[in-house]
Amino acid sequence: MATLDRVSPGMRARIQRVDGSVRLLTRLASVGLVPGSIVRVERNDAKRPVLVYERDTMLAINREESRRIHVEEVA
C-alpha cells in the first residue's frame, strides 16, 4: 500500500486508510476524502501540495497530510 504523496499524476487511487488526528480525519471527511473514495492525482511534485480531483472538485492536500493517506492505485 502506497501513500498519496507517491502516486503519479494522471493515476487514480482508492483511499484505504488515513493516519492522523481527529481534526485531520474530520477535515478530510468534510471534503469527501474517506476510505473507499477514489481520487485522480492531477499534480504531484516534491515542493508543492498534491492536487487531486474528487467528485467534481479539485483539492489541494499538503505534503505532510498526503503522507498520511494510504491508497491503492486503481485502473
- Return the C-alpha cell found at 35: 476510505
| CATH 3.30.420.10, domain 2-74, yes or no | no
- Express each pLDDT in 7-62 by its tens digit: 999 999 999 999 999 999 999 999 999 999 999 999 999 889 999 998 889 999 99
What's the confidence (pLDDT) of residue 46?
83
Domain ranges of the chain: 2-74
pTM: 0.92
72 contacts: CB under 8 Å, gap ≥ 6: 1, 2, 13, 14, 16
What's the confidence (pLDDT) of residue 36?
97
In the sheet that holds 57-61, the strands lie side by side as 2-3, 69-74, 12-18, 38-43, 50-54, 57-61
What's the confidence (pLDDT) of residue 75?
82
